[in-house]
Amino acid sequence: MTDKDEKKLWGGRFTGSLSDITERISESIRFDSRLYKQDIAGSIAHAKMLCKIGEISQAELESIINGLKKIESEIESGAFEFLPAREDIHMNIEAALTDRIGDAGKKLHTGRSRNDQVAVDVRMYIIDESKDILILINRLIEELVNLAAAHIDAVMPGYTHMQVAQPVRFSHHILIYAWQLLRDRTRLESAVKACKSLPLGSGALAGVNYKNDREFLKNELGFDEVNLNSMDGVSDRDFVLDFLYFASVLGMHLSRFCEELILWSTSEFNFIRLSDSVTTGSSIMPQKRNPDVAELIRGKSGRVYGNLFSLLTTLKGLPMTYNRDMQEDKEPLFDSIDTVILSLLGMLEMLKGIHINKERMKNAVYSNFSTATDLADYLVKKGLPFRECHEISGHIVNYCEKDGKDFFKLTVKELKQFSPLFDDEITEILDPANSTERKLSAGSTSKIEIINQIETLKSRLGKDIA
C-alpha cells in the first residue's frame, strides 16, 4: 500500500478520498515529528491507565509498551518512515503500532482524543526543552559574572542618550545583562509551571465515557495538577504564549547586548575586540572584521517577536474548543525554541573569546565632562542647594567649551570665578578615575557594590562560580 492509499484512522464515515491540496494543507508531520518522544511517553502512560481501569489486559499493555519503545528506537536511529498521509505524529505512531501488534494497538486510543493528546505533548515538549535553555541561561550568567570579576577595576563611560554621562565600572555595565537574564530565567520557570496542568484525559472536549484515572496520569507524567475543565484543557494555548513571551523578552535583552558589542567593537569605540571565531570578512574590503554573530542574534529578536504575534493572532478569534487553526501553534513555538538555543550558544561563544581594551575605555572617560555631576555634588557638600550647584557646574562646562579648556585640568583659581567654595580638593573630584568610589548607594558602580552584586548573583544561581 502506498502513502497515497493510506486508510485514515478517522475515515469510517467517509466514502470519498481527500484531494491532494487537502492532504498537503492538513499534514503536520514535517514539523510535529519532533514531538515523538513526548507522544510516546504520553501514550505509554495512557496505556498503563487503561490497564489500571480494566480496559486493556496486562498482556496488551506489555505489547503496546514494547511496540512503542521499538518505534521510538527506530525514530531515533532514522529507520522509521513518517508518512504524510497519516497527517501527524499521533497518527503515524498509532498506525505503525497497529500494523505491528494488531488489535492491541487499536485499543490504545480508547478514552483519548488527538485534542487532549497534542495538548499534553506540547506541554511536555516545552518542559523538556526548557531544561536545556535554563542550563544555557545559567552558563551565560556565569560567563558575565566571571567577566565582571576579571575586569572589576576597568572604568568606562556610562551613557544616557548615547552621550557620555558618568564614569562607571565596566563590570557594573556588563552585569546589567546578568540581572536581565536572571529575570528571563524567572519568566521561563513561570512558563514551565504553566505547562504543568494536565489536559490528558479530557477527551475531545466533554470528557470521556470511562472512569479514567487522571491523577494516575498526572503522577506518571510528572504534572503538578489536573486541568479541571475538559473544554479548557483542549483549547488552552496560554502556556505556549507564556513561553513565546519569555522568548521575546530574552531576544530583546540579547539584542540590546549585541547592539552594545557591535558598537564597542567599532574602531570609533574600540572598547572590545571579538575573536575571529565570531567575526567574518568582506567579499570586497579586505580590512573588515564584521560582528556577524552579534548582528544575527540582534536580528533574530524580530523573528521571535513575530512568532509571539503570530500565535496571538491565530488564537484571538477562535470559538471554543479545539479548531484546526491550533495546528499553527507548533511552528512558531519550535522556531522560537531553536532560535533561543542558537542565540544563547552564540552569546556564549562571543564572550568566550572577547578581549577588553581597558586603556581605551579609560581614555574615553576623559571626554564630555564625565565628572560634571561630581563637581555639583562637591558643592552640595559645601552647603549649596543642588539646583544652584547644577547651574554652576553647567556654567563651568560652557566656559570650557567656549575657551577650549580641559575640564579635568581646571585650576582652583579658574574655578573660583564660579564659586568661592572651590578649594584644592576639587582636583581629586574632577578626576574620573576617582568617581566610581564616591558612589555610596546600594547597587551603585563602586567596587564594594560590584563585589556585592557578584556574590548575590552567585547565590541566585545556587552555586559558586569559579
Half-sphere exposure of 70 (CA within 13 A, CB side): 13
- 10 Å Cβ neighbour count for 95? 19
Distance of CA 251 to the CA centre of its chain: 6
> For residue 222, is it within any domain?
no
Which residue range is the domain that position 164 belongs to? 115-214+228-362
Contact between 297 and 255 under an 8 Å Cβ cutoff? The reply is yes
pLDDT above 60 (res 10): no
Domain co-membership, 99 together with 233: no
pLDDT value of position 368:
87
Q: Given pLDDT bands bounded at 50, 70 and 90, which one contains residue 1?
A: very low
Instruction: Give one DSSP letter per residue of 330-359, joined into a string.
Output: HHHHHHHHHHHHHHHHHHHHHHHT-EE-HH
Of 244, 203, 201, the residue nearest 223 (C-alpha): 201
Which residues on adjacent β-strands are paired with residue 163? 160
What's the mean pLDDT when you consider all of the chain? Answer: 95
pLDDT value of position 465:
53
Q: Which residue among 17, 57, 282, 367 is the active-site one?
A: 282
Domain co-membership, 371 together with 440: yes
Average pLDDT over residues 34-40: 98
Average pLDDT over residues 31-55: 98
Left if phi > 0, otherwise alpha if psi is -120 to 50, otherwise beta: which for 8?
Answer: beta
Rg of the Cα trace of the chain?
31
Q: What is the pTM of this model?
A: 0.93
CA distances, 407 to each of 132, 148, 387, 402 (Å) = 51, 30, 20, 12
Query: ω into residue 321 within 30 of 0, thus cis?
Result: yes
pLDDT value of position 464:
52
> For residue 357, is it within any domain?
yes
Last residue of a domain, one of 65, 95, 110: 110
Give dist(CA 255, CA 184) in Å, integer.
Answer: 14
pLDDT digits (tens, 9 = 90+) for 311-365: 999 999 999 999 999 999 999 999 999 999 999 999 999 999 999 999 999 999 9
pLDDT digits (tens, 9 = 90+) for 297-316: 999 999 999 999 999 999 99
Q: Which residue among 77, 161, 267, 283 is the active-site one?
A: 161
Domain co-membership, 418 together with 357: no
pLDDT digits (tens, 9 = 90+) for 151-174: 999 999 999 999 999 999 999 999
Domain co-membership, 134 together with 266: yes
pLDDT above 70 (res 3): no
> For residue 416, is it within any domain?
yes
**Percent of the chain predicted with pLDDT > 90:** 92
Last residue of a domain, one of 362, 395, 429: 362
> For residue 335, is it within any domain?
yes
> For residue 134, is it within any domain?
yes
State the CATH number of the domain containing residue 335. 1.20.200.10
Domain co-membership, 296 together with 236: yes
Average pLDDT over residues 146-154: 97
Average pLDDT over residues 101-129: 98
Average pLDDT over residues 141-159: 97
State the CATH number of the domain containing residue 420. 1.10.40.30
Domain co-membership, 120 together with 75: no
Domain co-membership, 134 together with 86: no
Q: Can 282 be counted among the known catalytic residues?
A: yes
Q: Given pLDDT bands bounded at 50, 70 and 90, which one contains residue 19?
A: confident
Set of cell numbers at residue 340: 533561543
pLDDT value of position 21:
87
Which residues on adjacent β-strands are paired with residue 226? 198
Average pLDDT over residues 424-441: 94
Domain co-membership, 59 together with 79: yes
Burial class of residue 303 in the structure, from the number of CB atoms within 10 Å of its CB (0-12 exposed, 13-18 middle, 19+ buried): middle
> For residue 404, is it within any domain?
yes
Domain co-membership, 247 together with 381: no
The shares of helix, strand and coil residues in the chain, as percent rounded to the nearest 5, are 65, 5, 30
Total number of domains in the chain: 3
Domain co-membership, 330 together with 408: no
Domain co-membership, 73 together with 121: no
State the CATH number of the domain containing residue 82. 1.10.275.10
> For residue 3, is it within any domain?
no
pLDDT above 50 (res 88): yes
Last residue of a domain, one of 362, 388, 414: 362
Contact between 34 and 201 under an 8 Å Cβ cutoff? The reply is no
Average pLDDT over residues 229-239: 98
Burial class of residue 93 in the structure, from the number of CB atoms within 10 Å of its CB (0-12 exposed, 13-18 middle, 19+ buried): buried
- 3-state class (DSSP) for residue 48: helix
pLDDT value of position 14:
66
Domain co-membership, 380 together with 307: no
pLDDT above 90 (res 217): yes
pLDDT above 90 (res 23): no
At residue 349's C-alpha, the angle toward residues 348 and 352, to 5°, is 85
Pairing between β-strand 225-226 and β-strand 197-198 as defined by DSSP bridges? parallel
Q: Can 161 be counted among the known catalytic residues?
A: yes
Give dist(CA 26, CA 9) in Å, integer.
Answer: 14
At residue 97's C-alpha, the angle toward residues 80 and 235, to 5°, is 95
> For residue 5, is it within any domain?
no
pLDDT value of position 321:
96
Give dist(CA 451, CA 302) in Å, integer.
Answer: 35
Contact between 188 and 159 under an 8 Å Cβ cutoff? The reply is no
